Amino acid sequence: MNLRVLHIIDPEGAAGTCALRLLAESCDNLPGTEQEVLLLGPTPVEKQARDAGLSDFARIAPPLKNPALAVPGLRQFLRNNRPFHIIHSWSVPAYTLGALALGTRRRLLTLTMPPADVRSGHWLRMLMEYRPGNVLAVSNTVAAAVRRRGLKEGSVHVLRPGLKFSMLDHSLRSTLRDKWQVNDETRVVALLGEPAGSCDAWLAWRVFAALRVAGNDACFLVPPGARAVREARERARAMGWGHRFLVEEKVKTPWQVLPACDAALFAGDDRVPDDSPPPLLTWNSGTAAARMPGLMPVLWAMACRTPIVAEASYGISEILEHNHSAQLVRPGDIWGLVKALQSVTEDPQSSWEMRDTACSEAFSFFSRRRYCDDLAGVYEQLAEGLPVRVPDLPVTGGVRFASVR
């Protein structure tokens, strides 16, 4: 009998479209496993799932948008399906739902970003004690953040994600740039991060304004739902630059937008303590250091050969190296971001080596074949009741890819 796996994911919550794309990789490339996908959220999440490459799924709309209140809906779904051997959740809220609705099932939790705050982290620790399971973090940084919350050492593992590189369609460049009404001389910069609510549109506005004042004909794309996006758009319109500071839905699916971009901007600081108070929006100095968004969109920028400018957080420094595969600046240094973007957009030839290096590392260390083979091994270990062991990446990845305990 084939192994049956149920994936539970909330695309509008702690998981995003890149996490959906990663889920689609497992559904497409594990032929010996029967997999069902259950989306948590309103009707729009179905389009989000289709954009990520999923075609066969079910959906539950949790009351009050709280996945924990969807227990009756999940139990009804389970009654209509054959039993599942493994419940694979893709966020802490999704794991909560599975823990409340299901009994002694083998559980797995994939985290593409750390728990949102200290409360979520402690809640995950309590859940793991009540309904034990294994955590698959996409990076050492995420794994370390989870372990700091008190989870058992043997229950947290690092399984680096994989990308389907053929999703990048460079033939769309002209079509997209015509839609944005920009020519070949205009440098398009995409603000990346997942979920969209973790992106800082006000910081992007400040960088954009500095570039425009310096004479750089830049066009910025920010995702809908980014923090302070309305205020940033209003300020851009007031300055007469509204046509160059755009809210673009496709930023949520970076493989659809990056082929038409000249640079990718990633901002966030995971050095902020987990128990620190939430940042406040200050209109004269921008946004205080925010928690690090999920890093999956950065991997797509690497694969697309899009020059990357980012704040040198722990998570980013695990994937990228300054002047080797990206331009990194000290977190909170707005002018550092401006200068780095000027460098990669005004003299693209100078960034060619970095782009080529980033793309080579994406192809070497984030292939979907390696990811799916390792995930299949985890499923087999869980099904047989064995301790989970995830192979380390080859040591040729350098210190950035070494296991950290």
Q: Can the peptide bond before residue 93 be classed as cis, meaning omega within 30 degrees of 0? A: no
Lowest mean pLDDT among 10-14, 53-57, 248-252, 339-343: 10-14
What is the set of domains in the chain, with CATH numbers?
3-162+367-401 (3.40.50.2000), 166-362 (3.40.50.2000)
Residue of 334, 346, 338, 307 lying closest to 323 (CA atoms): 307
Helix 368-383 crosses helix 17-29 at what angle (to 10 degrees)? 70
Inter-residue contact 382 to 388 (CB < 8 Å): yes
Mean pLDDT of 93-108: 84
Amino acid 168: pLDDT: 93
173, amino acid identity: R
Q: What is the mean pLDDT of the chain?
A: 86
pLDDT at 399 over 70: no
Mean pLDDT of 194-212: 91
The model's pTM = 0.89
pLDDT, tens only, 319-336: 999 999 999 999 889 999
Beta-sheet strands, E only, within 100-240: 106-111, 134-137, 156-158, 187-192, 218-222
Amino acid 129: pLDDT: 86
Q: Which phi and psi (to 5°) does residue 307 adopt?
A: -55, 135
